[in-house]
Amino acid sequence: MKCQIKYLIDFAALALLYIFVFFRKWKSKGRDIWIVNTLMYIYLSFVLYFTMMPVITSIPFVLNHPYKPMNMTLFIDVLAGRGDFSRQVILNVIMTIPFGFLFPLTQNRTAKFFKTVFWCFIMSLSIELLQPFFNRFSDVTDLTTNVLGGMIGYGVYVICKPVIFWVLDHLKTEDQK
């Protein structure tokens, strides 16, 4: 129960941030932008949940343990046969597929492949560099598989682009009526 309250504090902070900072800003730009940005915000909130939470209640203790540097041996768990490596690899790929799909939409449909992959890399690198502060492990394999997931997500975006644009354009024309 005590641990659940820590997560609840983080989610409450994220909800308040959304309500008081982002909601009105995005809503005023149209329903299409509001929906896309809200989906990205929800997605990033869940990424934060799975990779770093609880954050707020951990902040006073981030320097109370030694910083464990990132493991820089690519696929060491796979090579050494440690743990459930295939599950970890698959989950890391799946985790960033939505980023590759949603990021171009948040960029007014202008984000190309390399820009999407670059920002997926930056997001993943940021998570991997911050995780040791929250007493979690950091691994170059996670970084690599996250970027692969972003690439796959962008591929799904390209395949679904005509349908997505039709839906978003339909929402935009309804707002203009």
119-177 per-position pLDDT tens digit: 999 999 999 999 998 888 889 999 999 999 999 999 999 999 999 989 888 887 777 76
- What pLDDT does 21 receive? 96
- The pTM for the full model equals 0.90
DSSP 112: -
94-108 per-position pLDDT tens digit: 999 999 999 999 998
Average pLDDT (80-87) is 80
How deeply is 137 buried, as exposed, middle or buried, from its count of CB atoms within 10 A (0-12, 13-18, 19+)?
Answer: exposed
Q: Across-strand partners of 164?
A: none
pLDDT of 7 over the 70 cut: yes
Q: Is 45 helix (H, G, I), strand (E, B) or coil?
A: helix
- What pLDDT does 111 receive? 84
At a CB cut-off of 8 Å and minimum separation 6, what does 112 contact?
A: 104
Task: Measure the CA–CA gap between 107 and 125, rounded to whole angstroms.
Answer: 21
Task: Measure the CA–CA gap between 177 and 172, rounded to whole angstroms.
Answer: 9
30-69 per-position pLDDT tens digit: 899 999 999 999 999 999 999 999 999 888 888 888 888 8
- What pLDDT does 16 receive? 97
- What pLDDT does 177 receive? 65
